[in-house]
Amino acid sequence: MRKNPFFTLLLALLASVSVAASAAEAPKTGGAKPATVQPAQPVATVKVDLNAADAATLERDLLGIGPAKAQAIVDYRQAHGPFASVDELLEVKGIGAAILDKNRDRLSAN
């Protein structure tokens, strides 16, 4: 059976490229120390005042808060008065410890 010379050349070309790529050395740094990675700076978080924010602000700026929960927070505030602390948010139906913990750094009760 005769082999097509094109496939033989293609196989030889691929083999030579493979050998050349694997034999390449990493570039020398000239004795310089490798760069160190600086830790990322914390992103400034927006503080949301539970006693002043409207439903749209609560929904936009808090994690895990959709339109229904945002409105529930506003309704609770209107029915019970201003929040005395951020922890009082747990009294709102649909707000649990997980949501409060995700948002604690974003909340204030001024």
Q: Kindly report the CATH number assigned to the domain that includes residue 91.
A: 1.10.150.320
The verdict on residue 96 lying in a domain is yes
**pLDDT for res 31:** 57
**pLDDT for res 48:** 95
**pLDDT for res 4:** 75
Q: What is the extent of the structural domain holding 87?
A: 48-108
The CA-CA-CA angle for residues 101, 104, 37, to 5°, reads: 90
Rg of the chain over Cα atoms, rounded to whole angstroms, equals: 30
**pLDDT for res 10:** 73
Residues of the chain scoring pLDDT < 70: 1-3, 19-45
pTM for the predicted model, two decimal places: 0.60
Query: Domains in the chain: how many in total?
Result: 1
The verdict on residue 95 lying in a domain is yes
Q: How many CA atoms lie within 13 A of 18 on its CB side?
A: 6
**pLDDT for res 32:** 59
User: Distance between CA atoms of 102 and 60, rounded to whole angstroms?
Assistant: 14
The verdict on residue 80 lying in a domain is yes
**pLDDT for res 104:** 95
